[in-house]
Structure 1
Amino acid sequence: MSLTLVSLNNIQKDITKTLKQISSDKQVERETAYYKANIGKITSIKDFLANDRLYQYAMKSFGMEDMIYAKGFMRKVLESDLTDGNSFANKLADDRYRKFALAFNFNSATTAVQTSAQTEDVLGLYDQSIVREDDQVRDDTRYFQAMIGTFQTVDQMLTNERVRSYILKNFGYDADRYSYSHIRNILTSDLADPASYVNSLPTTTAAQSTEKQRALNLANAFTFNTDGTVKNGAAQTEAQTAALIENYVLTVPSHKTPSAAAVNRLYYDTKIRTVTSMTEITGDARMWEIVRTALGKDSTFLKATFENIVSSDLNDPQSYVNTAGSKKEEYAAIARLFNFDTSGNTTAGNAQTSTQENTLLNGYNTHYDDVDEETRNIMKTSYKNNIGTITTIDKLFSNSTLMIVSLAAFGISRDEYNLTELRQALTSDLSDPKSYVNTKGDPRLLKMAQDFNFDAKGNAAAPRMAQTESTIKEVASAYAIQKQRFLKSPELDTVKKKVEAETTYYKTEIAKLKTADELLKNRRLIDFNLVALGLDPAKISDDTLKKLFKSDLNDPKSFVNTQTDKRLKQLVSSFNFDAKGNLIQSAKGSVQDRGHMQKTLDGYLQNELEVRQGEENPGVRFALYFQRKAQTITSAYDILGDTALLEVFKTTFSMPDQFSSMKIEQQKAIVEKKLNLADLKDPEKVKKLIQRFTVMYDMKQDQAQGGALSVMSASGSISADTLFTLSQLRTGR
């Protein structure tokens, strides 16, 4: 029998090569290929347990060959609700069962039309829609201004899609349903000719009268000859262009925009310089709205009240303001903004000083969007309260508030896409480049589809997230274990609070990720996952992480697949990103996500390695097993409850056969006395512990076999370095 330490060292010299040799074994290759090809076809626990090849592969992967026969027991494990601390799997002392259940999705993942992160994303975009709309208005206006002077014919203007849209929206025409000839005939009508096209439009009904007036407004906004050419070298006069732009800014956007506020401020500044009477303010609807808004008043604030205020003599105790009771100070502040006499008159240019005007317009800047903001807040509250009740796409479409907010959030007008097209987009498979939403080429539509979770039938589906629900739970649990191992109060209490805070951050932020680049920019999230895997974040650079996440998991020669430490591959595969860093959807209906499948495949290979080595030397299998499990040990009970780990401990510390007959508390005390459990956090100390085990194991076997170790030493089978190591361990140096 070969020396255990030598065999172990030989294996570990190039573990990647060793595992590759095992994976290329025909039997292993066949079973792995079968598992990968068929696990996605399983839809129930019954199907899984009935397929012996899949079931046995998974059981071996988790080192539970000895429980393969116990299908009834394993059914209970797989049926366990892992969110319930009292469920069957969670109450078992051996954590392998809980991990086995976590590796499969037999308990349906939570379905939700939106996660909280997706909802916040939509509402955030909804808030930004005002700014986006204003930016679009400014951009469209700049384009219109730049182009309108270049047209020499009506057809040149109408065939420019962007200019045509600007004009049609301005006059309330549906850009998708207008008649080209109708619009052209209006613009080329001779308004002085009673028989011209526009003057001949019918007015029998109220609707027809409204339509004719709109046509007249359109015709009056341009200067085309009846043959379609421009008059005086331009399609519009400067005054017509200014009026059209002002109307567009004020009436086309769905909300009061900053641009509209700026136009109104300019209007007020121009008009106030000519005002000679307070009635010129209250009699001008636009001026009155600006003033009322600036004062923070709604439509219930009467013009008469305003007139009484600004015509009050503040030095007269009996004036309207001074007899207003609790309103006195408020009204006096309003009166001080204007310079009208007690008859409500003033001279041109003196209605307000520049200081008074600036004060008023600052108030307008503050309050111009108050009504819109209140409406938005009501809409947002309604959205939050109702989105969680939506279970199908039809229910979403039938809720007007949800649709208004959703479409506005993504900058989509209600007439751009019909419900059939929206349904096709929201039920598209985002991972399929040929799906409707991916071939449509509209980034707004794609973003909307990314923020909703519908399956192909339009039902609520499991959310598309950077990590699956089960992975998030598993990572959070593993992180807590790694950070709290072997700690005692009060240090444990302090660390627990930090762990809770970090876990909350992880669960919140992981749900927001859409790309691998976003993940790579958040080292805090990556480090959380590294710690959970038992890796030291300080030893893994940003550059290495970038190479890992840019790797193709399906390419055996890619960077991630050539790493010695397979935990790095498990890190990458636990995230639902493709090689380009885009979020992908886990296979729909699959009982195992990509990350857990990778763990199963790696586990099977590791188990094969340990089993095969055990056939030649059980000590090597024990050593490999202990090395793998060391990072998960949290107490003496983990060792005492695991036959293989217990054997390593007993052999390493020469425990007598009677050890296992002692009371469990006594066994625990001995384990803690002999073995500093905190040393298991240090890879170097674990390595030395395993070396000690291998020597003690060989010595025990040597004694049982009549001095085989001595014979091997004499024959030169053991190197001088190995003998030196053995002598050190034997003498305790």
Structure 2
Amino acid sequence: MVSTYLSYKMYTSDLSKSVARTLSDPQVSREQTYYRDNIGKVTSVDDFLKDQRLYSYAMKAYGLEDMTYAKAFMRKVLESDLTDDKSFVRKLVDQRYITFARAFNFTTTGDVASGTTIAQDASDEEDTVGLYSEQRVRKGAAVAAEVEYYQARIGSITTADQLVSDPRLFSFALKSFGIDPSTASEATIKKVLTSDLSDPDSMANKLNDSRYRELAAGFSFESDGSVPAGQTAQTAAQRRDTILLHYEATGNGTSPAAAAFKSQAYAELMAGVTSVDDVVNDDFLKTYAATAAGLDPILLSPLTLREVLTSDLSDPDSLANSLDSYRTLAEAFNFNTDGTLDDGVPAQTAAQLDNFADGYIENYDNKVVSTEEQETSYYKLAMSEVKSVDDLLANAKLYNYALKAFDLDPTQESASKIKQVLKSDLSNRDSFANKLGDSRYTALAAAFNFGTDGEAQGAIRAQITHSKSETITRYTVTLGKEEADQARGKTESEYYNQQIDTITSVDELLKDTRVVAYIKKAFGFEKESISDQTLRQILTSDPFDSKSFVNKGANTKYRDMAAAFNFGADGKAQRIALGEAQDKDERIRTQDMYIRQTMEEQAGSQNEGVRLALYFQRKASSIVSPYSILADKALLQVVLTALALPDSIAQAEVDTQAKAISKRLDVADFKDPAKVEKFLARFTALYDVNNQQTSSSPASILLGQQQGGVISDALLSSIQATKLRF
């Protein structure tokens, strides 16, 4: 007769082949297919319990086959609140039940949890915020290029026809005065530009719109479209005002480029100032001066400004000396107490102008950044409440923020168009966003998680939440007990926890060496040579496909890793499915466990020792103390046999049994596969010695399997709640 050890090794030397042999059984294959095809249809605990094939399959997978009859008991298990220490399942000693409950997404009401929808995940939100911050600079730079063109060309324009026939000048001029150049008639605009504003019948006045009157006043064209001899289309003042208006009208008044131009314009205007009233009565100069000194232009009245600028700084009771910012403002000018300037003394010297410009840029930027931070804080807070496209469109602040981030002008876009963009399926070449042929719209659509129905969906993630938690747990148990190891492990786990949610492809993952090192350690590859190419093959494999890379070799760790991640065959992270009774990784785990249970069962029909050895090999890494062994009859049988302890020890106190086991073995060794194999070699040898007369045992001792009779739910609860320590 073949020894127990050799029989055991026949199964474990190539587990993939052993699994394949098990699956070759038509009945096993049928049950496997049925479970895979139907678990996704379950919407409640009722559905699950009513489908006997699904329910029985899952119960067997988790070693609970003997409890299949106890549906009322199992309902309580599945409907338990896993976060509540006082819930039904958390009170049970046998950890198989909580493991079973965690494998499904049932709520305390028996429904399938709907899952967490998210309109925008953290990485896309941060990208949007970054783009919003950048767009101020980016758009300002683009407008600055138009300003440069305008300044270079407007001086050579001598007729209205020349202005209208230059598309860039025409567009620049109209936008400056708030007129949409795409809808404006060139003929009408020419008549406006040549209007006599003193004539009520002129085109500028007849249109009865102040924008057109301001446009006409902004240029120096005669009624025939020419300009006075020796002049150009605009005076220096008109050109400066047009440019200032353009920055504001295009929403770029807060850009660095606008700030630089305003400083230039300020210096030019200050050259002509002869008294304090020139500053006080000019809104542009007043606003610039207040900002440069760190004051709010809106709150600084002309009267206060005049009093500050004419203060006697040698008088401690003067208004300028009552506030640091007032004194800074007064010191930047050279006005006398009566508001005049001494002969030959400018309102501001070159040095004062330079210092003032520095103060303006600094305070101006601080104010803009502060406003931007407030807008961003609001965006992040409000986005957490968005559940649909309609929610986003209904909030003007959110809508404007999102569109501006992607270089779209909210005033020029229709809400219905943006709604279609956000509902677009970018994987469909014929979707609305793709057919627009503008990368801004596709980028906007890609930044949000809306479905074609407009509702928020699950996020795109490299790992779902509990798979990530399990990976971190796997990593943690590999750490040494030294404080330095634990501290380093905590740091790496924190990094992984945050970073894995930002990864959207296998390529991104492989570029992050810390993440790669973490995964290798977590899944037992730290000491093995495993290339990036192999990792790519693992992570892009379909664990459900028997022909995929992870199902071909003997290394079961490959399949464990593939099941823990959410990448498609193309290497891209996939969207988390919502409203399913089981997540992808739990479905894989359930099916793997079913096959393993079946394989062990088949092995046990020939030799119960092989079944015990296979079971111990599977459970070894989960043993955390002698109490873990004492709580599991199959594990205890293996340990008692391997340590040559008498069965009578089971009659002793639990603590006495634990001490007896602790003296003879270190459970930490069971984290090392090599030591587990050595332990099982000893077990199988002693098992054969103890069972010379029989090759198999008809009674299954695995997991305390019931041999007959039906136990009431109340008694089951009482038994399972018996207090043992783990």
TM-score using structure 2 length: 0.79
Q: Within 5 A, what are the aligned runs for 1:21-420? A: 21-107=21-107, 108=113, 109-113=115-119, 122-138=128-144, 168-174=174-180, 178-179=182-183, 182-189=184-191, 200-201=202-203, 203=205, 208-213=208-213, 216=216, 220=219, 247-253=245-251, 256-298=254-296, 299-314=298-313, 317=314, 319=315, 323-324=318-319, 327=322, 331-343=326-338, 344-346=340-342, 350-415=346-411, 417-420=413-416
Distance apart, 1:626 and its partner CA: 1.6
- The letter of the residue matching 2:270 is I
- The letter of the residue matching 1:256 is T
Flag the 1:237–1:350 CA change in 2: closer, same or farther, 3 A: closer
Residue 687 in 1 paired to residue 677 in 2? yes
> Secondary structure of 2:185's match?
helix
> Secondary structure of 2:404's match?
helix
Flag the 1:635–1:412 CA change in 2: closer, same or farther, 3 A: farther
Give CA deviations for 1:276-295 in whole Å, capped at 9, x if unaligned.
Answer: 43333333322222111100
Q: Which residue of 1 aligns with 2:703?
A: none
Partners of 1:95 and 1:433 in 2: how far apart?
Answer: 50
Partners of 2:342 and 2:535 in 1: how far apart?
Answer: 74
Residue 584 in 1 paired to residue 574 in 2? yes
Give CA deviations for 1:183-202 in whole Å, capped at 9, x if unaligned.
Answer: 2213554955879x997537
Partners of 1:222 and 1:557 in 2: how far apart?
Answer: 79
> Secondary structure of 1:208's match?
coil
**Quick check: 414-423 or 44-53, which moved more?**
414-423
Identity %: 35
Partners of 2:168 and 2:247 in 1: how far apart?
Answer: 16
**Quick check: 335-344 or 354-363, which moved more?**
335-344
- The letter of the residue matching 2:86 is N
Give CA deviations for 1:111-137 in whole Å, capped at 9, x if unaligned.
Answer: 455566665555454444423433443
Partners of 1:578 and 1:594 in 2: how far apart?
Answer: 12
Partners of 2:428 and 2:30 in 1: how far apart?
Answer: 29
Contact 2:429 2:435 in 1 (8 A): yes
Q: Within 5 A, what are the aligned runs for 1:613-652? A: 613-652=603-642
Partners of 1:222 and 1:563 in 2: how far apart?
Answer: 84
Residue 606 in 1 paired to residue 596 in 2? yes
Partners of 1:304 and 1:674 in 2: how far apart?
Answer: 93
Partners of 1:296 and 1:65 in 2: how far apart?
Answer: 76
Give CA deviations for 1:451-493 in whole Å, capped at 9, x if unaligned.
Answer: 5555665555554433323434444555555558xx6xxx68x
Partners of 2:145 and 2:68 in 1: how far apart?
Answer: 68
Contact 2:474 2:522 in 1 (8 A): yes
- The letter of the residue matching 1:649 is V
**Quick check: 503-512 or 251-260, which moved more?**
503-512
Partners of 1:147 and 1:57 in 2: how far apart?
Answer: 80
Distance apart, 1:549 and its partner CA: 3.3
Flag the 1:577–1:141 CA change in 2: closer, same or farther, 3 A: farther
> Secondary structure of 2:582's match?
coil
- The letter of the residue matching 1:268 is Y
- The letter of the residue matching 2:51 is N
Distance apart, 1:676 and its partner CA: 0.9
Match of 2:462 among 466, 483, 503: 466
Distance apart, 1:363 and its partner CA: 0.7
**Quick check: 536-545 or 56-65, which moved more?**
536-545
> Secondary structure of 1:368's match?
helix
Flag the 1:368–1:509 CA change in 2: closer, same or farther, 3 A: same
Q: Which residue of 1 aligns with 2:711?
A: none
**Quick check: 515-524 or 95-104, which moved more?**
515-524
Flag the 1:554–1:58 CA change in 2: closer, same or farther, 3 A: closer
**Quick check: 50-59 or 463-472, which moved more?**
463-472
Distance apart, 1:571 and its partner CA: 2.6
CA RMSD of aligned residues (A): 4.5
Q: Which residue of 2 aligns with 1:8?
A: 8
Counting matched residue pairs gives 684
> Secondary structure of 1:650's match?
helix
TM-score using structure 1 length: 0.79
Contact 1:191 1:199 in 2 (8 A): no
Give CA deviations for 1:581-633 in whole Å, capped at 9, x if unaligned.
Answer: 33322334322222222223333333333233333333222222222222221
> Secondary structure of 2:66's match?
helix
**Quick check: 256-265 or 629-638, which moved more?**
629-638
Partners of 1:161 and 1:624 in 2: how far apart?
Answer: 80
Partners of 2:13 and 2:233 in 1: how far apart?
Answer: 83
Flag the 1:124–1:359 CA change in 2: closer, same or farther, 3 A: same
Question: Structure 1: where are the runs of 5+ without partners?
Answer: 707-733
Partners of 1:432 and 1:700 in 2: how far apart?
Answer: 67
Contact 1:113 1:454 in 2 (8 A): yes
Give CA deviations for 1:138-181 in whole Å, capped at 9, x if unaligned.
Answer: 46667888999999x99999999988765653332346xx43xx
Distance apart, 1:95 and its partner CA: 2.9
Contact 1:337 1:356 in 2 (8 A): yes
> Secondary structure of 1:263's match?
helix
Flag the 1:266–1:601 CA change in 2: closer, same or farther, 3 A: same
Distance apart, 1:296 and its partner CA: 0.8
Contact 1:551 1:559 in 2 (8 A): yes
> Secondary structure of 1:69's match?
coil
Contact 1:103 1:596 in 2 (8 A): yes
Distance apart, 1:413 and its partner CA: 2.6
> Secondary structure of 1:38's match?
helix
Contact 2:320 2:326 in 1 (8 A): no
Partners of 1:604 and 1:224 in 2: how far apart?
Answer: 92
Partners of 2:167 and 2:544 in 1: how far apart?
Answer: 46
Flag the 1:648–1:257 CA change in 2: closer, same or farther, 3 A: same
Flag the 1:131–1:187 CA change in 2: closer, same or farther, 3 A: same
Distance apart, 1:417 and its partner CA: 4.3
> Secondary structure of 1:253's match?
coil
Contact 2:146 2:172 in 1 (8 A): yes
Contact 1:566 1:602 in 2 (8 A): no
Question: Structure 2: where are the runs of 5+ without partners?
Answer: 108-112, 697-726
Residue 596 in 1 paired to residue 586 in 2? yes
> Secondary structure of 1:695's match?
helix
Contact 2:191 2:204 in 1 (8 A): no
Distance apart, 1:242 and its partner CA: 7.7
- The letter of the residue matching 1:582 is K
Flag the 1:496–1:382 CA change in 2: closer, same or farther, 3 A: same
Partners of 1:43 and 1:414 in 2: how far apart?
Answer: 42
Flag the 1:376–1:531 CA change in 2: closer, same or farther, 3 A: same
